[in-house]
């Protein structure tokens, strides 16, 4: 188990690196890129929701802020994606800090209402401001081409493979950050806030500070994903601030397994690939999502990940019949 754990990141990187040897068609690559973008977003939502216990209904706002800031900087100032991307994340962080500061003192309905209200404001801005492109949005965002002298030339036009690598590098980085955070005093502070905020305070945890911290990392990831998305499809419109983005994220986190690292990853795969099979029922997508969410909450409150783990354990026990070693406890919340 331990050796498996140690080498699983390497294994994952290897699988990602080798994917283009197996998959050849652009459409599958597109789906896998979308999965990666959703992984980044859901790692963020999971941090504030799954680990810290605040359900943020307005994540789409930060997606939009990331996308628009990066797009505006690139189109108006002619800056490269590699400059606008970090700046867009920074802008999202600043907005997130402000919103967090105003809303996170209070829990529950107040937080939910303000996050929704703020997201609505963010949705209306690009619709009504011509400089932001109005309803049609902004076109012709530059691709993240890399030219370093004559040595390195990575062109993102006409092929999806560089995007695929970049998207998954970003996704792995998001997983890495969240995983490290939750297995530390900072992450345990998040969990303490989720589980019992007065006891958390009683042992000296500044719950306001740690809520803001979790929220800020969460929206930074949304901003990173949004900006990347813009430069991937090279065209953004106010659609990027639509609620369905957050609804999908919530679905992915809840059905995958909230408060676990790999749950949202599994959820991202399921709900990016599932609509492809539901193509025929395009109109029914949201109702189907709604029903799935209710079913998940009712019958799998911890998501599919614990369930998959159980099957895996039964499977491994059958195959080797050896008693499970100590320390491989599957129950440790923050592990895996």
Positions touching other proteins (CB under 8 A) are: 177, 180-181, 184-189, 191-192, 195-196, 198-207, 213, 329, 331-334
Instruction: In whole angstroms, give the CA distance from residue 43 to residue 181.
Output: 12
Judge residue 146's burial from the number of C-beta atoms within 10 Å of its C-beta, 0-12 exposed, 13-18 middle, 19 or more buried: middle
The least CB distance from residue 334 to other proteins, in Å, is 7
The least CB distance from residue 218 to other proteins, in Å, is 14
Q: Strands 146-148 and 152-154: what pairing?
A: antiparallel
Which residues have CB under 8 Å from 106's CB, separation 6+? none
Residue placing its CB nearer to other proteins in the complex, 50 or 226? 50
Instruction: Confirm if 194 and 52 have CB atoms less than 8 A apart.
Output: yes
Residue placing its CB nearer to other proteins in the complex, 137 or 259? 259
The least CB distance from residue 263 to other proteins, in Å, is 14
Residue placing its CB nearer to other proteins in the complex, 186 or 234? 186
Residue placing its CB nearer to other proteins in the complex, 98 or 176? 176
Q: Which of 234, 227, 245, 241 is nearest to 88 (CA)?
A: 227
Q: Which of 63, 58, 38 is nearest to 239 (CA)?
A: 63
Residue placing its CB nearer to other proteins in the complex, 74 or 207? 207
Residue placing its CB nearer to other proteins in the complex, 123 or 194? 194
Instruction: In whole angstroms, give the CA distance from residue 88 to residue 56.
Output: 20
The least CB distance from residue 188 to other proteins, in Å, is 5
Residue placing its CB nearer to other proteins in the complex, 155 or 329? 329
Instruction: Confirm if 56 and 49 have CB atoms less than 8 A apart.
Output: yes
Cβ–Cβ contacts within 10 Å for residue 150, how many? 6
Helix count and strand count (H, E) for the chain: 13, 4
The least CB distance from residue 35 to other proteins, in Å, is 24
The least CB distance from residue 181 to other proteins, in Å, is 6
Question: Which value, in Å, is the radius of gyration of the alpha carbons in the chain?
Answer: 20
The least CB distance from residue 307 to other proteins, in Å, is 17
């Amino acid at each position: 188990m331990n050796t498996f754990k140690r080498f699983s990141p390497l294994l994952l990187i290897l699988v990602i690196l080798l994917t283009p040897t197996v998959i050849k068609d652009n459409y599958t690559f597109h789906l896998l890129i979308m999965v990666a973008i959703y992984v980044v977003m859901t790692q963020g939502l999971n941090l504030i929701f799954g680990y810290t216990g605040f359900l943020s209904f307005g994540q789409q706002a930060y997606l939009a802020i990331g996308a628009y800031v990066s797009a505006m900087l690139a189109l108006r100032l002619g800056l490269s994606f590699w400059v606008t991307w970090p700046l867009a994340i920074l802008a999202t962080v600043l907005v997130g800090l402000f919103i967090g500061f105003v809303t996170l003192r209070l829990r529950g309905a107040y937080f939910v209402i303000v996050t929704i209200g703020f997201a609505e404001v963010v949705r209306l801005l690009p619709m009504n401001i011509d400089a932001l492109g109005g309803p049609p949005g902004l076109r012709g965002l530059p691709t993240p081409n890399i030219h370093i002298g004559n040595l390195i030339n990575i062109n993102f036009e006409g092929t999806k493979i560089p995007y695929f690598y970049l998207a998954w590098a970003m996704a792995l980085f998001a997983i890495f950050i969240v995983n490290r955070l939750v297995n530390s005093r900072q992450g345990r502070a998040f969990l303490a806030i989720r589980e019992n905020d007065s006891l958390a305070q009683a042992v000296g945890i500044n719950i306001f500070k740690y809520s803001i911290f979790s929220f800020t990392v969460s929206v930074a990831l949304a901003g990173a994903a949004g900006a990347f998305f813009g430069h991937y499809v090279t065209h953004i419109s106010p659609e990027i601030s639509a609620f369905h983005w957050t609804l999908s994220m919530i679905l992915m986190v809840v059905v995958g397994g909230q408060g676990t690292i790999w749950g949202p990853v599994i959820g991202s795969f399921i709900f990016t690939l599932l609509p492809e099979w539901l193509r025929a029922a395009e109109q029914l997508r949201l109702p189907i999502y709604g029903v799935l969410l209710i079913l998940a909450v009712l019958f799998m409150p911890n998501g599919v990940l614990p369930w998959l783990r159980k099957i895996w354990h039964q499977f491994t026990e059958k195959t080797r019949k050896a008693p499970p070693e100590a320390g491989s406890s599957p129950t440790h919340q923050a592990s895996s």
